[in-house]
Structure 1
């Protein structure tokens, strides 16, 4: 697709030329650039100062090997990444993802998105992302420790509390953060807030585990209020069954919704009477089992393999894709709309394809893009950084209230900015422009660096 604006069109072509075979990265950049036409018309300095030309290029890309020894004494080698994308408004901040699908293009897409997400929180955090193609599934605690220690023996050179503060993401929870933090502390001989998502006994924050899921629901609640609706009495479908999905289920239920479906990479469960969250937490957080085990405990529920159809076939009023990128396609969007869905908020990063997003907006569905709707996780990471700096801890209620206000502010920023630029209720454009302008102003103020 070509842009109407020649400058944006040429820039997109240059991004594709310089970053071949990185489809997710191209997708993320294109979505942002599509929102920029009105911005550069009003602010010609952005083009003159090459802000967009610079922002699509990461400040630093780090790639390294990660050798480790498995339980059989065999040496394994994975590849590690850290993309430090933009530090104009603060130290790089963004998660680490351990998953076989991880490659440089995936990390660049996530890091690019993180720039605008972090900007929207209102906290002083730049954008970054990292990870490895290591798969924690099926590995023993010892193997995971060996890998995490090896990973940190290289990463420690590039991070620090005022430089780059990684967090968790897919495949990286409290266990992995703990192993990495221990190695960092050992190597550097210092105790700092260099990682977020830490255990509560060594610098972690209350609500961090719940934050992304809670935040997605707080954002959704604001979208619903804007159209005179609420969660009360609504049927909710949530993809995924990891950290984000579990706590989105918890908050959606607390707000009056009924969550009837969750999924993992193998398939999905449907419980018409409402998901029993205690069972899901036991299976996923304690026993680390597949979601299909749910039906053994609750035989009245249904389990469907991936080949049996999509979780989005289930009729619902609210859909929260919380699994992974590009999991909700145009046909899924059509099905959701036909079945009466009025709101979609992305708990994962870019889970909806561009065609699906366009269809939701065309049909008047309130759509919350990931860089806004799932910003609760990094917002609470920012609050953890603040507590580490203060050597102080806030209560659960205090952090939750701060999170709720941040998500409300993000919604207001998206809503107001979209209206100002002539795209009322288009929260994709609102989020892109609002997130961008803050970073652009900082980049212009600091000169060409």
Structure 2
């Protein structure tokens, strides 16, 4: 019989030179080993190996012309990872760092995140090594239209439903949707994150950030704590970070630091609604560094990237919302020495494996991204339902639904912790195990094609 060690070795050998994908696979594999040991059918039917192999990877060239009428060439992707419980679902990332390893890791994580929502969503991820920064609206439109001339063959509201991610906001979604509609001559919900006037949903921009804070509230409630008056750090200054900060303010927490790729700002006075509005203007309107914030507010200090870490600032709660592997072991040690209570991930895999291992040996509550940041894809799933029904729900209704979904994820984790005798508050193993069981049952029910 195949041993557990052989399973992981086989997967890594089969996918060489893909460190991010290996990292994501190994984390889940470590969590589910007790399930594999106790249920031989998972090994006999090679469920984990099948789960780690994408059902399809589409890679294609994207040719477009810049404003100087020069031809540019990028590489586009769509990784269709698993469709056992629903159509492929996951975001598009436009960023120079995009490659197959990163998209496979994101698509793999998406399997578990989507399963945890309880919605009928499979998993996928895609994008291109295109950098929207510094590009005109016309250049971005031409790029999106070119990307869609290939991708349209592989997506649709019952097949694969992309969404936004880094570098892909409502503007890019609009250009992609318009190109699809023109090519296919169909108005359908084949992408989420659309504008409210053309098939979009209330609360979609806010969903990941709001859901993250809801999840953190539920975690804190388990130890009789609340967010009110807690000092918080939020890395990043994009969509997830902005709305996480917004919800933290609504819950009367004190956000004292935020960041972007240029560095971080420490504002010991804490941000308020007016300051948050200025942050949104800096990032969404002016497209400038967060350093501009420190020029306006006298007590705020900007620290350049590489000179120090946002995680060195004393705080009660930390929310990494920027990108993968941003929070290191040294950062984790500093957070512990500063008596951190909770760390909940707004980004996908933002904490390095050694940092996670360290945190899990402490009393810090750890909310893994696949559970804590599932609010975005949950509301995307609700947007898909609204598109199919042709009936749209109010913002207040969706906020209640989002809160209920995040509570359901947290309660499912608690049930799994109890059922499998896991360590108290072990949300990482609970999330991985709960999602694995759900998807595996669907795969085995559908035979070897599942």
Residue by residue over 1:77-104, the C-alpha shift from the partner in whole angstroms, topping out at 9 and shown as x without a partner, is 0000100000000000000000010000
Aligned to 1:218: 214
Which one of 26, 35, 38 corresponds to residue 39 of structure 1? 35
Aligned to 2:448: 448
Cα distance in structure 1, aligned partners of 2:336 and 2:438: 34
Secondary structure of 1:105's counterpart equals helix
Cα distance in structure 2, aligned partners of 1:9 and 1:220: 35
Aligned to 1:434: 434
1:127 aligns with 2:123: yes
Residue by residue over 1:231-258, the C-alpha shift from the partner in whole angstroms, topping out at 9 and shown as x without a partner, is 0110000000000000000111111210
Secondary structure of 2:447's counterpart equals coil
1:421 aligns with 2:420: yes
Shift of 1:7: 2.4
Aligned length: 445
Cα distance in structure 1, aligned partners of 2:298 and 2:189: 45
Aligned to 1:72: 68
Change (3 A) 1:365 1:6: farther
TM-score of the two chains, using structure 2 as the length reference: 0.98
Q: Do the aligned residues in 2 keep the contact of 1:85 with 1:115 (CA within 8 Å)?
A: yes
Aligned to 2:382: 383
Cα distance in structure 2, aligned partners of 1:328 and 1:9: 28
Secondary structure of 1:65's counterpart equals strand
Q: Do the aligned residues in 2 keep the contact of 1:99 with 1:170 (CA within 8 Å)?
A: yes
Cα distance in structure 1, aligned partners of 2:339 and 2:253: 15
1:86 aligns with 2:85: no
Cα distance in structure 1, aligned partners of 2:96 and 2:415: 39
Shift of 1:43: 2.2
Q: Do the aligned residues in 2 keep the contact of 1:121 with 1:379 (CA within 8 Å)?
A: yes
Q: Do the aligned residues in 2 keep the contact of 1:232 with 1:256 (CA within 8 Å)?
A: yes
Shift of 1:419: 2.6
Cα distance in structure 2, aligned partners of 1:169 and 1:420: 35
Cα distance in structure 1, aligned partners of 2:183 and 2:221: 50
Between 86-95 and 423-432, the greater mean CA deviation after superposition: 423-432
Cα distance in structure 2, aligned partners of 1:318 and 1:8: 36
Cα distance in structure 1, aligned partners of 2:301 and 2:152: 46
Cα distance in structure 2, aligned partners of 1:290 and 1:15: 41
Residue by residue over 1:139-173, the C-alpha shift from the partner in whole angstroms, topping out at 9 and shown as x without a partner, is 00000001000001110000000000000000000
Cα distance in structure 1, aligned partners of 2:122 and 2:95: 24
1:5-404 aligned at under 5 Å gives the runs 7-275=3-271, 276-404=275-403
Shift of 1:6: 6.6
Q: Do the aligned residues in 1 keep the contact of 2:228 with 2:253 (CA within 8 Å)?
A: yes
Q: Do the aligned residues in 2 keep the contact of 1:8 with 1:33 (CA within 8 Å)?
A: no
Q: Do the aligned residues in 1 keep the contact of 2:11 with 2:49 (CA within 8 Å)?
A: no
Q: Do the aligned residues in 2 keep the contact of 1:419 with 1:425 (CA within 8 Å)?
A: no
Cα distance in structure 2, aligned partners of 1:380 and 1:223: 21
Change (3 A) 1:28 1:138: same
Residue by residue over 1:333-364, the C-alpha shift from the partner in whole angstroms, topping out at 9 and shown as x without a partner, is 00001101010000000000011111111001
**Structure 2 residues not aligned, in runs of 5+:** none
Shift of 1:286: 2.0
Residue by residue over 1:111-160, the C-alpha shift from the partner in whole angstroms, topping out at 9 and shown as x without a partner, is 00000000000000001000100000000000000100000111000000
Q: Do the aligned residues in 1 keep the contact of 2:269 with 2:299 (CA within 8 Å)?
A: no
Shift of 1:19: 1.1
Cα distance in structure 1, aligned partners of 2:15 and 2:110: 18
Shift of 1:422: 2.0
Q: Do the aligned residues in 2 keep the contact of 1:98 with 1:171 (CA within 8 Å)?
A: yes
**Structure 1 residues not aligned, in runs of 5+:** none
Cα distance in structure 2, aligned partners of 1:177 and 1:127: 19
Cα distance in structure 2, aligned partners of 1:256 and 1:8: 47
Secondary structure of 2:224's counterpart equals coil
Cα distance in structure 2, aligned partners of 1:445 and 1:206: 36
Cα distance in structure 2, aligned partners of 1:277 and 1:51: 46
Secondary structure of 1:236's counterpart equals strand
RMSD: 1.0
Between 80-89 and 292-301, the greater mean CA deviation after superposition: 292-301
Cα distance in structure 2, aligned partners of 1:78 and 1:255: 43
